Structure 1
Amino acid sequence: MNSQRLKWFSLVIVSSSVFLAVIDIFIVNVAIPSIRKGIQGSESDIQLVIALYLLGYAAFLITGGRLGDFYGKKRVFIMAMLLFTLTSFLCGISQTAWQLNTARFVQGVSAAFMIPQGIAYVHVLFPDHKDRIKALGIYGSIAGAASVIGQFLGGILPDIHGAIEGWRLLFLINLPIGFISVILAARYLQDTPVTGTGQFDYSGVALLTLALIGLIYPLIRGRELGWPLWSLASILGAIALLFIFVFDQQRKLGRGGNPLINIQLFSYKDFNIGLCAVLFYFMVQDSYFLINAIFLQTGLGHSSSDAGILFVFQGVGYVVASVLSISLVKKYGKRVLQAGVLIMITSLLLHIYVFSAITVSRTALLFTLFFYGMGCGSVLPSLLTMAMKSIPMQFAGAASGTFSTFQQTAVALGVGITGGIFFSVLDNESGTSAYLGAYQAATWVNILFLVLVSFFLYKLPEDNRQTVLLAG
């Protein structure tokens, strides 16, 4: 294989990491009711199936990028892909909620180790700017396709009845992709030089991980247990650990060390405003799928496969808008994102209206889901750029890693808060009216979050000059 073909083939290999990582978010979102039935789990158990994956992802994403610098990107990519494949197998054979959620957390950690290597390889393989932009477009398209495929498979696979329960296939389908990727990576990926210097920030990793777990876990589990003393103490302890983490990072930076997060980033006001927009946007991201999947399947009685097909319309709307928004943002700047948020808010109001009808119109539902996807597609592709447009290029990699960590943590928080409100209002009741009331309450919370997103986008200074900042 000549060098030109090899680098594009290598792009396909490293893109398998983002394909698997993204598909495992969306495939589970749609299939949550089937998973709950399969493991006989509680309400908080199924919230944790989503949140713990994202928590492991968030806590170790920056660490994953740094490990590639210290030990070589090829080695870390292969080991992370192996771990992801193994934990997918463990998820697929889990017998209890505890087993599944433990495996899901480690699966998220392995995703955090392999994703940064894939992004970094794009820069290694394509030093030419035009080729790199094309490669990043392909990489992003694969991630977008994974979200749509995940929603479709998340609906179809649980309805398969055979020797293996359908919901287990959600995880077991990762095995052939993972093993093939490992074999091809070992054979074709080029080694990269070790660039990490100094001592790795293990204490920073420990502090951040403990703080995030201490915050997210009791938010989800505490409600179901009646908010015992340990859950409140854990939340307060997590907040204290976050302050200690910030102080620890400042001290290491002042001593010329290698902190996990460069605290200098937070001296840029626009970056802080952008992170606030990111926080509230991603608190809506997966909580939307959680409450809609449960309401459609358990509340309205749709089959898993039908729910998956419905969600595909949302995914198609996202893809269409994301393609259009990239060129529109260059011309109109943040106004495109503001319009996208307005579309999302309008669509959520339509969700409430359509589901409140005595007979839910399928045509109206498909339009509403597609419309919501259009809103998401107008916001998400450019939110990273908006949050980081004031950051100097030398901080771009650190800012991107911080953004991604913030993003995944926000998603886990949204699942805990909005999902918690949904189940609190539901209060173990059954029947369509009970589920409708819970759905409406949770959706109003998501609308409030989107109003806050709109506010923080308004606070960002107007600047149509868009600079693409990507993690290296």
Structure 2
Amino acid sequence: MNTQISKWLLLAIISSSVFLSVLDIFIVNVAIPAIKTGIHGTDSDIQLVIALYLLGYATFLVTGGRAGDYFGRKRVFVVAMLLFVVISAVCGFAQTSWQLNAARFFQGVSAALMIPQGITYIQELFQGNKERVKALGIYGSVAGSASVIGQFLGGLLPEIDSFLEGWRLIFLINLPIGLAVVPMALLFLPPDDRRCCNVGFDYAGVLLLTGALVCLIYPLIRGRELDWPWWCIAMLAAGGIVLALFVRDQKQKLSTGRQRLPLLDVRLFGFRDFNIGMAIVLFYFMVQDSYFLINVVLLETGLGFSSSETGILFVFQGVGYVVASLVSLRLVPLFGKKVLQGGVLTMIITLALHIIVLNGPEVNRRLLYPVLFLYGAGCGSVLPSLLAVGLKNIPVELAGTASGTFSTFQQTAIALGIGVIGGIFFSNLGPLPDVTAYISAYRVATFTNMALLALVGLFMCLLPVEGMVRSESVTH
């Protein structure tokens, strides 16, 4: 490593991983109608484009942290970034829905391998508390910026007239960024010679968790479209069995000591507040990306909005999120969970306003901008402190694995929301939907999201008033 390289430049290299991983969530959200047309896909195909990325990310996020300890953080970061670039190219040149969805799963896996290495590097490079807080703030700001940029580019790129179909550019845009970062990471990131090779890597845990989540999420998305064939029911049953086997496997490895370190520390679920926090995460994140899915399909396919106009609308939502998140992080230490409850209430009210504004083919477009801004503000009041809700009473020695479990649960909940809420929306469309059918399906799905947010508020009431602490979030 060149010792003259500033650690702030190293932070820029590290932050590229969270930028790309978050960008690829939000850039796809706005472009899904164009992707559906481009690959001649079905409704469930576009659900899987979102869900399989999140499943790959969720199931391998804890694994990514373990892999950095076991194989070396620099090696894992560089290999994962290179894989992300290669798989992005595969996504961009995919010819069928099967090719695209398989690539999206592995794109999520490569993102999950990158992210933990970057966070660990920040802890090592920035030793002073003040510098570390500043670095983590920059890292989180990069993620927030990626979500807004992704929404804008997801609307803009599909409309670009080039020798390639515009939707392919939303994946190929990763190539110049990744190819610039890989050699810089090889040259400048400090080597990691302190690999932890005395503890066995939990390959069985990874396979069991991956199998369980795929068996649960995939049939939820495909089953509706195929009229619930027997194999979908069998997969759901198998998913439950494999999940139970995973929990048993993790308990056994925990009881045998450090030589068989489990992927998930099941002791976490012995803490009441952690369980309540996971319930909040489940219901909140089921709403998060399903909101984008049903709104984008309604606006672009049902009401005829252009993808660029939709992208700009969601930029307003992203700006509302960023503004409110900055304010909420100052208010939470003073007012505790009341700030989060206020954010949830704002989200419910603004979803009702969505239904009122999106009530027919002639939509008042000017009203949509403040409505989406307010919805984003509600999200920004809740999301940055959700991690604190689940972890505030967790012992220090379990904080690392608790954070990884939180992130895994978060991404799994988003994929589940795409399957469940997306399924409700598409099942209410009918075979040949018109504008009225789109609006009716949207109302049913949005009322369901409002009910899920009401459950979030209910579970927040079960948390103690005192003890809320500030937390940073790197996802929007």
TM-score band, normalised by shorter chain: over 0.9
Which residue of structure 2 lines up, in the alignment, with residue 325 of structure 1? 328
- Output the amino acid matched with 1:82: L
Q: 1:86-165 residue pairs with structure 2 within 5 A? A: 86-165=86-165
The answer to which of 361-370 and 58-67 deviates more is: 361-370
1:19 and 1:142 in contact (8 A); partners too: yes
Q: 1:263-342 residue pairs with structure 2 within 5 A? A: 263-342=266-345
> What is the distance in 2 between the residues matched to 1:73 and 1:395?
21
1:5 Cα shift?
5.3
Which residue of structure 1 lines up, in the alignment, with residue 224 of structure 2? 223
2:85 and 2:179 in contact (8 A); partners too: yes
Which residue of structure 2 lines up, in the alignment, with residue 25 of structure 1? 25
Which residue of structure 2 lines up, in the alignment, with residue 254 of structure 1? 255
> What is the distance in 1 between the residues matched to 2:442 and 2:232?
25
Which residue of structure 2 lines up, in the alignment, with residue 69 of structure 1? 69
> What is the distance in 2 between the residues matched to 1:203 and 1:335?
42
Structure 1, unaligned runs of 5 or more: none
Q: 1:359-370 residue pairs with structure 2 within 5 A? A: 359-370=362-373
The answer to which of 12-21 and 455-464 deviates more is: 455-464
> What is the distance in 2 between the residues matched to 1:351 and 1:252?
48
Per-residue CA deviations over 1:412-460 (Å, capped at 9, x if unaligned) read 0000000000000002232210100111111011111101111111111
**Against the structure 1 CA distance between its residues 130 and 3, is the aligned structure 2 distance closer, same or farther, given a 3 Å change threshold?**
farther
1:397 and 1:470 in contact (8 A); partners too: no
1:393 and 1:469 in contact (8 A); partners too: no
**Against the structure 1 CA distance between its residues 470 and 398, is the aligned structure 2 distance closer, same or farther, given a 3 Å change threshold?**
farther
1:463 Cα shift?
1.7
> What is the distance in 2 between the residues matched to 1:81 and 1:187?
14
> What is the distance in 1 between the residues matched to 2:4 and 2:215?
48
1:4 Cα shift?
7.7
Per-residue CA deviations over 1:250-271 (Å, capped at 9, x if unaligned) read 1110111300001111110100
**Against the structure 1 CA distance between its residues 329 and 196, is the aligned structure 2 distance closer, same or farther, given a 3 Å change threshold?**
farther
Q: Could you list the runs of 4 or more consecutive aligned residues of structure 1 that deviate by over 6 angstroms after TM superposition?
A: none
> What is the distance in 1 between the residues matched to 2:449 and 2:432?
22
Question: Partner of 2:200: helix, strand, or coil?
Answer: coil
1:65 and 1:117 in contact (8 A); partners too: yes
Which residue of structure 2 lines up, in the alignment, with residue 188 of structure 1? 188
| Aligned-residue RMSD, C-alpha | 1.4
**Against the structure 1 CA distance between its residues 379 and 469, is the aligned structure 2 distance closer, same or farther, given a 3 Å change threshold?**
closer
1:388 maps to 2:380 = no
1:334 and 1:464 in contact (8 A); partners too: no
1:466 Cα shift?
1.1
- Output the amino acid matched with 1:105: F
The TM-score normalised by the length of structure 1 is 0.98
Question: Partner of 1:426: helix, strand, or coil?
Answer: coil
Per-residue CA deviations over 1:64-93 (Å, capped at 9, x if unaligned) read 110000011000000000000000000000
> What is the distance in 2 between the residues matched to 1:383 and 1:17?
22
1:359 Cα shift?
3.0
> What is the distance in 2 between the residues matched to 1:111 and 1:189?
18
1:66 and 1:196 in contact (8 A); partners too: no
Which residue of structure 2 lines up, in the alignment, with residue 236 of structure 1? 237
2:344 and 2:382 in contact (8 A); partners too: yes
2:17 and 2:111 in contact (8 A); partners too: yes
Which residue of structure 1 lines up, in the alignment, with residue 356 of structure 2? 353
1:393 Cα shift?
1.2
1:398 to 392, 401, 416: 401
1:3 Cα shift?
5.2
1:358 Cα shift?
5.9
The TM-score normalised by the length of structure 2 is 0.97
1:429 maps to 2:432 = yes
> What is the distance in 1 between the residues matched to 2:430 and 2:227?
12
- Output the amino acid matched with 1:94: A
> What is the distance in 2 between the residues matched to 1:68 and 1:465?
31
Structure 2, unaligned runs of 5 or more: none
Which residue of structure 1 lines up, in the alignment, with residue 171 of structure 2? 171
**Against the structure 1 CA distance between its residues 2 and 260, is the aligned structure 2 distance closer, same or farther, given a 3 Å change threshold?**
closer
- Output the amino acid matched with 2:165: E
- Output the amino acid matched with 1:270: D
1:469 Cα shift?
8.3
- Output the amino acid matched with 2:117: Q
- Output the amino acid matched with 1:255: T
**Against the structure 1 CA distance between its residues 116 and 211, is the aligned structure 2 distance closer, same or farther, given a 3 Å change threshold?**
same
1:333 and 1:464 in contact (8 A); partners too: yes
